[in-house]
């Protein structure tokens, strides 16, 4: 059995799609569906069973998992960068992950978990995923900290040779539709063009960056699941790794790519960034990819233009936009 936590979520359900594409359906999905549309990410998927995340944690803590487990791919988390309930984030993102990792290591089960580029904070220490840098990082929001504290635990407990952590940068693509304000700007921009004919981007509030020229490392979800599949099949590949393209692009590039995919001329409007997020805003992220490349993982990613075209043409413009 392969256990995918957050299996109804964005990256988790995309990975279940990848497993199905590889002919695998012996999958246990762990998640919390709530009242939204996240369940739709599972409608076309094949899997053995679904367990609520709280029930699954009780099973882990009580050592009541009776079936053979090949791997735990732990994508479940609260991914809201604006969440203010620090206790909730620590329970959901840190303590839960710690319990699963301890169980997996004790049972000698492959454990792959989601970290985040939010751990890099303002980027002043760069974006290297080397362990010595990870120990020095200072996240600037509580979400980033809840991810970072587990990364620190991996290193301090010398688990980096027994688990694989993935620091996802800016992921976009199919199955993110339930994420509301945490959806990618690609999805938001598509909706804005459809409804108003233009895209709204934040003005820059920092010297050295023009409006719309803040930089991010955008990576397509299909590339992310290929890397997860590679890690799943190479249990000897462990440690904490970045997952981006290694090439930062501007928000303006992203908006223009959406217009190009729709075969429209760009119309971009700039608006002030809300004061509530200005102090926590990252003006530049770019994954250092040397460590993942040195591991032997093949790095053949979609360009921003290629990924957005596939997303817009083959998903967003369709009646059924899911993987």
Residues 6 or more apart in contact with residue 176 via CB below 8 angstroms: 10, 183, 184, 187, 221
Q: How many CB atoms lie within 10 A of CB 25?
A: 13
Residue 286's nearest CA partner among 211, 206, 215, 223 is: 215
Residue 241 known to be catalytic: no
143 catalytic per annotation: yes
Check: CB of residue 3 under 8 Å from CB of residue 73: yes
Name the active-site residue from 40, 53, 179, 291.
Answer: 179
Helix (H, G, I), strand (E, B) or coil at 264: coil
Question: Residue 283's closest CA among 124, 52, 77?
Answer: 124
Nearest Cα to Cα of residue 171 among 227, 212, 122: 227
Tokens of 237: 């590949």
Which residue is it, tokens 């995309």?
14
Q: How many CB atoms neighbour CB 110 within 10 A?
A: 20
3-state secondary structure 183-251: CCHHHHHHHHHHHHCCEEEECCCCCCCCCCCCEECEEEHHHHHHHHHHHHCCCCCCEEEEECCCCCEEH
Of 143, 190, 220, 311, which is the active-site residue? Answer: 143
CA dihedral of 219, 319, 260, 180, whole degrees rounded to 10: -50
Structure tokens at 310: 């596939």
Outline where 68-202 has alpha helix (H). 86-89, 96-107, 131-134, 142-156, 185-196
Size (the chain), residues = 323
Does residue 117 sit in helix, strand or coil? Answer: helix
Catalytic residues: 143, 179
């Amino acid at each position: 059995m392969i256990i995918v936590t957050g299996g109804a979520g964005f990256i988790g359900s995309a990975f279940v799609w990848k497993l199905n594409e590889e002919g695998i359906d012996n999958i246990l999905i762990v998640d919390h569906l709530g009242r939204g549309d996240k369940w739709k990410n599972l409608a076309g998927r094949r899997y053995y069973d679904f367990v609520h995340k709280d029930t699954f944690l009780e099973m882990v803590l009580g050592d009541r998992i009776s079936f053979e487990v090949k791997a735990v791919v732990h994508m479940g988390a609260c991914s809201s960068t604006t969440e203010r309930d620090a206790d909730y984030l620590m329970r959901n993102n840190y303590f839960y992950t710690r319990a699963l990792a301890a169980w997996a290591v004790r049972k000698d089960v492959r454990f792959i978990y989601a970290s985040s580029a939010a751990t890099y904070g303002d980027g002043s220490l760069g974006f290297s995923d080397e362990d010595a840098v990870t120990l020095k990082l200072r996240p600037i929001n509580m979400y980033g900290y809840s991810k970072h504290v587990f990364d620190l635990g991996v290193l301090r407990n010398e688990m980096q040779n027994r688990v694989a952590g993935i620091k996802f940068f800016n992921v976009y693509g199919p199955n993110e539709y339930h994420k509301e304000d945490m959806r990618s700007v690609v999805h938001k921009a598509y909706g804005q063009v459809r409804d108003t004919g233009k895209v709204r981007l934040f003005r820059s509030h920092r010297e050295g960056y023009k409006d719309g020229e803040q930089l991010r490392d955008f990576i397509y979800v299909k590339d992310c699941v290929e890397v997860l599949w590679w890690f799943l099949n190479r249990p000897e590949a462990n440690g904490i790794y970045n997952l981006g393209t290694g090439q930062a692009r501007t928000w303006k590039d992203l908006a223009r790519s959406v217009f190009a995919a729709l075969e429209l001329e760009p119309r971009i409007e700039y608006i002030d960034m809300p004061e509530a997020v200005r102090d926590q805003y990252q003006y530049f992220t770019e994954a250092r990819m040397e460590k993942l490349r040195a591991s032997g993982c093949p790095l053949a990613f979609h360009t921003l233009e290629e990924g957005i075209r596939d997303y817009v043409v083959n998903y967003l413009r369709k009646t059924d936009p899911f993987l």
